[in-house]
Amino acid sequence: MSGPAIDARALTRRFGTFTAVDGISFQVERGEVFGFLGANGAGKTTAMRMLIGLLAPSSGSATVAGYDVATQAEQVRRRIGYMSQRFSLYEDLTVRENITLFGGIYGLSNRDIAERTGQILSRIGLQRAARELVREIPLGWKQQLAFCVALLHRPAVVFLDEPTGGVDPITRRRFWELIYEAGAEGTSVLVTTHYLDEAEYCNRISIMMDGAIAAMGTPSDVRRGLGAATLDEVFLRLTRPGAAV
């Protein structure tokens, strides 16, 4: 794969008269961990849904892993992983059955499935729970499992929509270690979050406001550009421009 992992150009999505995403352009490099920040309703999820082919763009274009999201959606789908905001593995299947199912859908061989199932289970320490229904395991593990399933077929890009919502701090740390491991193996990661401390872990971040990108760069660039000491401050200034800091 040559070129950037994600290349969005003037990507726009309107719902009726409401513009949810307003001409955003950005690039994500191979192996980069890119953070998407913004308040609820800023357009992060809509932008992500366009990039993974769940929503057609109203105008503008984007390529993911070198393929156009509008015209080559199937090519894109083969090369991406996705973990949605809502837990979306099958609660009434066991851990192992979930992994097998998605391995099968992505066309992995039986040997690959068996091998990677073992890897995943040992990596997140779920060996003993392999035969448990997903419904029965704690939320932190569920989230880690969902992440590993999203990476199961070694995608070029993985999209994480608020992956650490409602998870305890230790698990969150553990989760970010997994994200780094993925990045180190060459997978690009696009992650939305509204935990500002998490944004500091990203290689680069973009802050979305009212559907547009208000600031973009490495966390320190963004802080410096707005003359703020912390990202919290950056965020406050952007969302409430009049507020004195």
Residues that bind another protein (CB under 8 A): 52-56, 73-74, 77-78, 80, 82, 84, 86-93, 97, 100-107, 133
Q: Tell me how far, at minimum, the Cβ of 217 lies from another protein, in Å.
A: 29
Nearer to another protein, 77 or 204 (CB): 77
Q: Tell me how far, at minimum, the Cβ of 190 lies from another protein, in Å.
A: 13
Q: Tell me how far, at minimum, the Cβ of 176 lies from another protein, in Å.
A: 22
Strands annotated E in 110-153: none
Nearer to another protein, 73 or 228 (CB): 73
DSSP string for 79-114: TEEEE-SS--S-TTSBHHHHHHHHHHHTT--HHHHH
Cα separation of 6 and 157, whole Å?
8
Nearer to another protein, 191 or 234 (CB): 191
Nearer to another protein, 134 or 205 (CB): 134
Q: Tell me how far, at minimum, the Cβ of 42 lies from another protein, in Å.
A: 19
Nearer to another protein, 53 or 140 (CB): 53
Give the C-alpha distances (Å, rounded to integers) separating 123 from 62, 162, 175. 34, 21, 11
Residue 244 CB neighbours (<10 A): 5
- Which has the closest alpha carbon to 62: 18, 17, 21, 20? 21
Nearer to another protein, 39 or 101 (CB): 101
Cα separation of 49 and 57, whole Å?
9
Cα separation of 122 and 103, whole Å?
17
Q: Are 29 and 188 in contact (CB under 8 A)?
A: yes
- Which has the closest alpha carbon to 218: 232, 233, 207? 207
Q: Tell me how far, at minimum, the Cβ of 45 lies from another protein, in Å.
A: 11
Q: Tell me how far, at minimum, the Cβ of 153 lies from another protein, in Å.
A: 9
